[in-house]
Amino acid sequence: MILSKLCTLPSYGLGGKYMSLQFVNSLKSGLQSSAKLSFARTTKVQESTLKNVFNGGVARALRQASSSAAGTTTELAPSARKAVGFWLMGCTGMVFGAVMLGGVTRLTESGLSMVDWKLLGRSWPQSEIEWQAELEKYRHYPEFQLKNKDITMSDFKFIWLMEYGHRMWGRLIGATFALPAVYFWTKGYFTKSMRRRVPIFGSLILLQGLMGWYMVKSGLDHKNFEGPSDVPRVSQYRLAAHLGAALVLATLFLYNGLDHLIPAQVVKVTSSVRRVRIMAHVCKGFIFLAAFSGAFVAGLDAGLTYNEFPLMGGRLVPTDLLAYEPKLSNVTENPTTVQFNHRMLGMTVFALVHGLWFATRKAKLPPRAYTAANAMLAMTYLQLTLGIATLLLYVPTPVAASHQTGALTLLSLAVWMTHECKLLKYVPK
């Protein structure tokens, strides 16, 4: 615009005309150079500004991602977050109790005393006539016919009430979960991620109830006990599935409860911290496998095959380790192999937890991570002692039940340890 006006300035004479054009061209060249310099400076400023904005946005995004991963659920009020956290921890305790009660039910051989199943349950017998009716139903099934023909009414009442208590406890878990879940959902206490998880938790609880009855049915089927040496008991495969699902459910409740009550702290990434995190997950996996293998030990009464330690029949490796054909069936059907594998898994866990503990001494971790590692180490010694005592004392119910409880306790501590190590903030070198 300025150039166009300059070009229209009057010129006087030929010389004036040339002078005007020379002046305009010089001014035009100067303005273009100035514009280029200004544009370059503006571009630099814009790049610097965008860079600062981008870096700031990334930093905010990382902080938000860390906050979300830690389960801090910043959009929730602290009271709502705590209420959900305590509810989840309560559900964890209920599942913990169900596993303990289920172990005692199996150890007292009470699981096949109730020969029917109703989704919402029923009341226990209120009179001697009703008790006689229950006993009469029991007489038609393999456990009575092959094993308990001489059972007294008082003994029958004991095993029946044990199984009844276990089933009703499972239904109580459903109520403890469902009623608060509906309330929290309507109040908006769940984050987006929790709204996805809650239906999964509910489905797992329902699946557990159905799986429990599916397991019991395997011990009520006459076709499963037609051999001369068959012992009436539930399928070890279904028992393992039932226990495994309970362990998964308990750890899910626990992990999410920890997210709400004690969110994990950000940890700076170093090679030692990364090593601790990997080892914590490996320990958790092997603890789960050891507990899972315990279901096969219980299902086959494998704890009564070799009641000595550390040898089995005077040998490190027993002679009948691969006695069954096909060879692969020994892993889940040969009591000797099942006990041997359970021992090896237990010793592996013992070694891995020690390795984890030593690794934490060389890493800079949050204070709670050190507490979890110390608790895991102490629990590992107690669990190994309980396992050996269970063998040497021929599987007494109190000791064996304590051993099973110890397995879930150790698994819970491993979940806590992995929770404390889950947030790893990358620090550039």
Give DSSP secondary structure letters for 151-210.
--HHHHHHHHHHHHHHHHHHHHHHHHHHHHHHHHHHHT-S-HHHHHHHHHHHHHHHHHHH
Q: Where are the domains of the chain?
A: 76-263, 264-428
Looking at the whole model, is its pTM more than 0.85?
no
Q: How far apart are CA 330 and CA 320, in angstroms?
A: 10
Q: Which residues pair with 312 in a beta bridge?
A: 315
Distances (CA, A) of 60 to 63, 64, 268, 290, 371: 5, 6, 17, 42, 31
Helix axis angle, 397-420 relative to 367-392, nearest 10°?
160
Q: Write the DSSP assignment of 255-277 as a string of letters.
A: HHHHHHHSPPPPEE--HHHHHHH
Which has the minimum average pLDDT: 42-56, 147-161, 206-220, 331-345? 42-56
pLDDT at residue 184, rounded to an integer: 97
Binning pLDDT at 50, 70 and 90, where does residue 9 land?
A: very low
Report the pLDDT value the prediction gives residue 173, as an integer from 0 to 100.
97
Q: What is the pLDDT of residues 165-180, one digit of tens each?
A: 999 999 999 999 999 9
Helix (H) or strand (E) holding 53: helix 13-69
The pair of structure tokens assigned to 105 is: 């039910």
pLDDT bin (cut points 50, 70, 90) of residue 86 is very high
**Distance between CA atoms of 54 and 41, rounded to whole angstroms?**
20
Radius of gyration of the chain (CA): 35
